């Protein structure tokens, strides 16, 4: 072993990580006694994560964005000659469309889903 | 190498006492955390004790224990990486060495750990099992699931690279 050119590097590695003899004795004793080592840190960490989640749910309830609110009004409109005419809550009338599209309902009254920004 | 080589276990207490510092040293080198290393070493040795008491003694106690220690150390390292921020926040990592003990050990072991970290994981694992764990080549091959020649090649490459890295850091 003494002639091994790599003995020095091996010894250096062993010395760098030499365990405490008492720790080794403790480990041997525990293994022979069939003891399972504690994994408390993992349980503690799991409990901490659960706590954080609970706190997040309790203190950060979902709230509506301040800039967007439902109009709180019932819009009604009609299709006439391919134009959508909608009376808005402020008293004005919005007219949109103009191009003939096959998916538009026939002129008359019905339920229309309107997508867009309400101002 | 201080390994006993492949043999059927006749003295379980003696085998455990002889393996404990070696597997603990290996786990220390892998994890750099004495408390975690103790957990890994004890679990690995307890598995050998259970196997022997259940009549399933492995042909090589060393290969058996180190194969388990290797897997457990890998899992422990992952778990530590995942939980580290939470454990730090909750103060759960109280088993760490004192600042004085850490300062004394830091210099050499930190230097060696830094050099080990620059090896490829395959070479690092091979040299840790052979040089730090003290396994014979045949047992190391069994523990790592490789051929003896592959282990020899990896260990040789790791030793040369490590020597150069440590020399470089000294200079």
| Cβ(A82)–Cβ(A97) below 8 Å | yes
Higher pLDDT, A17 or B86: A17
For chain B positions 61-90, those within 8 Å of chain A (CB to CB) are 79, 83, 86-87, 89-90
A11 and A53 part of one domain: yes
Does residue B150 carry a pLDDT above 80? Answer: yes
Domain ranges of chain B: 12-170
Are A93 and A117 within one domain? yes
- Is residue B122 less than 8 Å (CB to CB) from chain A? no
What's the sign of the alpha-carbon dihedral B120, B24, B68, B130? positive
Neighboring chain A residues of B41 at a CB cutoff of 8 Å: 27
| A12 belongs to a structural domain | yes
State pLDDT tens for residues B72-117.
999 888 887 777 676 666 665 555 555 655 565 567 888 898 899 9
Per-residue pLDDT, A108: 60
Does A45 sit within 8 Å of B37, measured CB to CB? no
The verdict on a CB contact (< 8 Å) between B45 and A23 is no
pLDDT at residue B6 in the model: 43
Residues A81, A117, single domain; the answer is yes
- What is the interface pTM, i.e. ipTM, of the complex? 0.77
A67 in a domain, yes or no? no
**Is residue B49 within 8 angstroms of chain A, CB to CB?**
yes
Give CA separation, B30 vs A65, B36, B132, in Å. 50, 10, 10
Chain A residues near residue B87 by CB distance under 8 angstroms: 41, 44-45, 48
Domain count, chain A: 2
Q: Quick one: CATH architecture of B12-170?
A: Orthogonal Bundle (1.10)
pLDDT score, position A1: 44
Q: What is the pLDDT of residues A30-51, one digit of tens each?
A: 999 887 665 555 667 677 778 8
Domain assignment of residue A65, yes or no:
no
Condensed to tens digits (0 to 9), the pLDDT of residues B113-141 reads 889 999 999 999 999 999 999 999 999 99
Closest CA to B95 of A64, A83, A62, A40: A40
Top mean pLDDT of B20-24, B50-54, B94-98, B107-111 is at B20-24
Show the domain range for A46. Answer: 7-59
Look at the alpha carbons of B127, B133, B137, B143 in this order and tell me if their dihedral is positive or negative.
Answer: negative
- Out of A17-21, A85-89, B35-39, B97-101, least confident range: B97-101
Q: What is the pLDDT of residue B69?
A: 93
A31 touches chain B (CB under 8 A): yes
pTM over 0.90: no
Q: Kindly state whether residue A2 falls inside one of the protein's structural domains.
A: no
Q: What is the pLDDT of residue A34?
A: 81
B5 pLDDT band, cuts 50/70/90, is: very low
Residues of A in contact with B48 (CB under 8 A): 31
Is residue A111 included in any domain, yes or no?
Answer: yes
Q: How far is A21 from chain B (nearest CA, A)?
A: 7
CB contact under 8 A, B127 and A40: no
A31:B48 CB<8 A: yes
Would you say B77 and B39 are in contact if contact means Cβ atoms under 8 Å apart?
no
**For residue B130, which of A16, A8, A10 has the smallest C-alpha distance?**
A10
In a domain, A66, yes or no: no
Report the residue from B49, B134, B162 with minimal CB separation from A31.
B49
Please report the pLDDT score of residue B12 as a whole number.
87
Domain shared by A82 and A55, yes or no? no
Which residues of chain B lie closer than 8 angstroms to A15, CB-CB? 108
- Whether residue A23 is found in the same domain as residue A50: yes
Confidence of residue B22 (pLDDT cuts 50, 70, 90): very high
B103 touches chain A (CB under 8 A): no
Tell whether A79 and A52 lie within a shared domain.
Answer: no
Residues A13 and A55 in one domain: yes
């Amino acid at each position: 072993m003494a002639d091994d050119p790599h003995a020095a590097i091996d010894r250096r590695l062993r010395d760098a990580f030499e365990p405490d003899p008492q720790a080794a004795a403790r480990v041997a004793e525990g293994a022979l006694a069939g003891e399972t080592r504690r994994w408390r840190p993992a349980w503690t960490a799991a409990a901490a994560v659960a706590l954080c989640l609970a706190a997040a749910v309790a203190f950060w309830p979902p709230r509506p964005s301040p800039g967007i609110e439902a109009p709180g009004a019932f819009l009604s409109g009609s299709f006439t000659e391919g134009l959508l005419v909608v009376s808005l809550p402020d008293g004005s009338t919005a007219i949109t469309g103009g191009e003939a599209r096959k998916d538009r309902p026939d002129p008359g009254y019905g339920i229309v889903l309107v997508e867009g920004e309400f101002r | 190498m201080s390994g006993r080589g492949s043999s059927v276990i006749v003295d379980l207490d003696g085998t455990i006492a002889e393996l404990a510092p070696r597997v603990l040293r290996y786990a220390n080198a892998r994890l750099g955390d004495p408390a975690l290393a103790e957990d890994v070493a004890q679990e690995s040795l307890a598995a050998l004790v259970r196997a022997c008491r259940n009549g399933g003694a492995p042909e090589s106690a060393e290969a058996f224990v180190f194969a388990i220690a290797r897997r457990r150390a890998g899992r422990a390292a992952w778990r530590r990486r995942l939980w580290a921020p939470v454990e730090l926040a909750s103060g759960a990592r109280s088993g760490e060495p004192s600042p004085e003990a850490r300062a004394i050990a830091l210099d050499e072991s930190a230097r060696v750990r830094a050099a080990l970290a620059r090896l490829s994981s395959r070479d690092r694992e091979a040299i840790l099992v052979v040089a730090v764990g003290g396994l014979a080549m045949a047992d190391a091959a069994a523990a790592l699931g490789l051929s003896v020649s592959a282990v020899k090649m990896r260990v040789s490459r790791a030793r040369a690279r490590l020597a150069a890295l440590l020399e470089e850091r000294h200079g």
